[in-house]
Structure 1
Amino acid sequence: MQSIAERTKHKLLAAARAEFAEHGLAGARVDRVAAAAGINKQRIYGYFDSKDGLFDAVLAETMIEAAADKPLQAGDSPAGYADRTFDFHRNDPDLLRLLMWEALSRPVEAALSDSGRQQHYDRKIAAFTDAGLNDDEARYTLLVVLALTSYTAALPQIAALVLGHDYSDDELKSRIVDTVGRLTNL
């Protein structure tokens, strides 16, 4: 059973996730988060210290949910992971939006200093090495999979310009998964 404090934090994080995904770090307003959560604005500062701290908490929670939604197991194939990752971004664009806002608002060093996030990606790399890729191949393959599966969700206008306005997400997913399989021979 959740305590009152846990429920309050959950409400704040849910409201902040929607606010940050829509408006980014610079455009988000703590007043709107507090109003959407139905909670006093001072609670945000009590729990998270600052708007930046709240953004960090939202991003961390969203990444944890994403990892749980599309787990990468030891020995998992890059094509199988691409399949799940494409669906994840198609069905829940918040993580991608938050990462894009982070890229626009903060230097790369901010992400590099987060050991939890580094461990998150290190586990994915290790899963690809368990699948038969060497460390270098695993790193580049992970980056390619993430790029291919997120690009059209991040920039749907480019997909429409290249593939035509009526392109099929299912066909695109199938081709991306097939391409990843051919590139890795796994």
Structure 2
Amino acid sequence: MLSVALTEAAELKPAAGLTDTASYAAVTFDFHRSNPQLLRLLMWESLQRRRISPEAAQRPAAPGTDDETARFVLYGILALATWAQALPVASSMVFGGTPDPQGLREGIANAVEALVGPRQ
């Protein structure tokens, strides 16, 4: 069930053509805000300690980075972009109340850009 949901999500999420990580984070935020059922399924599957097979997992690819680094970058972006929807109480604690979704979206995109921006 999780593999099917992830495949469907990959087809629905408008990430094709994005060339920067900040835009990917913003689109991911929007996607999960509009599709909360996927995060619920992921959290439920985690509670049951199920794992998907490596074959079912998509391999991230980022130009100029090794595969392991690309995986950690992708994992970090997904964590930032989904945390507010997955754990709204934690977001309220961090931001001192319910954050404005548009401000949160922009803040996440800016944070991702700062974290993965060009190295000096």
Q: Is the pair's TM-score, using the shorter chain for normalization, greater than 0.5?
A: yes
Q: How many residues align?
A: 118
Following the alignment from structure 2 to structure 1, what is the Cα–Cα distance between the partners of residues 28 and 88?
16
Which residue of 74, 77, 80 corresponds with 1:142? Answer: 74
Is 1:174 matched up with 2:106? yes
Q: Is the 8 A contact 1:80 1:177 kept in 2?
A: yes
Which residue of 21, 37, 44 corresponds with 1:101? Answer: 44
Structure-2 change in CA distance of 1:103 and 1:166 (3 Å): closer
Following the alignment from structure 1 to structure 2, what is the Cα–Cα distance between the partners of residues 156 and 75?
27
Following the alignment from structure 2 to structure 1, what is the Cα–Cα distance between the partners of residues 18 and 65?
10
Is 1:115 matched up with 2:58? no
Is 1:80 matched up with 2:23? yes
1:165 CA drift (Å): 2.2
Q: Is the 8 A contact 1:82 1:146 kept in 2?
A: yes
Following the alignment from structure 2 to structure 1, what is the Cα–Cα distance between the partners of residues 76 and 98?
25
Structure-2 change in CA distance of 1:138 and 1:73 (3 Å): farther
Q: Is the 8 A contact 2:77 2:112 kept in 1?
A: yes
Q: Aligned ranges for residues 21-36 of structure 1 at < 5 Å?
A: none
1:73 CA drift (Å): 4.0
Query: Where do 5+ consecutive residues of structure 2 fail to align?
Result: none
Following the alignment from structure 1 to structure 2, what is the Cα–Cα distance between the partners of residues 61 and 157?
29
Asked which structure has the greater CA Rg, the reply is 1
Please give the TM-score of this superposition, normalised by the length of structure 2.
0.85
Letter in 2 for 1:104: L
C-alpha RMSD of matched pairs (Å)? 2.0
Look up the match of 1:60: 3
Q: Is the 8 A contact 2:39 2:86 kept in 1?
A: yes
1:171 CA drift (Å): 0.6
Percent of pairs with identical residues: 38
Please give the TM-score of this superposition, normalised by the length of structure 1.
0.57
Larger RCO, structures 1/2 (Cα 8 Å, 6+ apart): 2
Query: Where do 5+ consecutive residues of structure 1 fail to align?
Result: 1-55
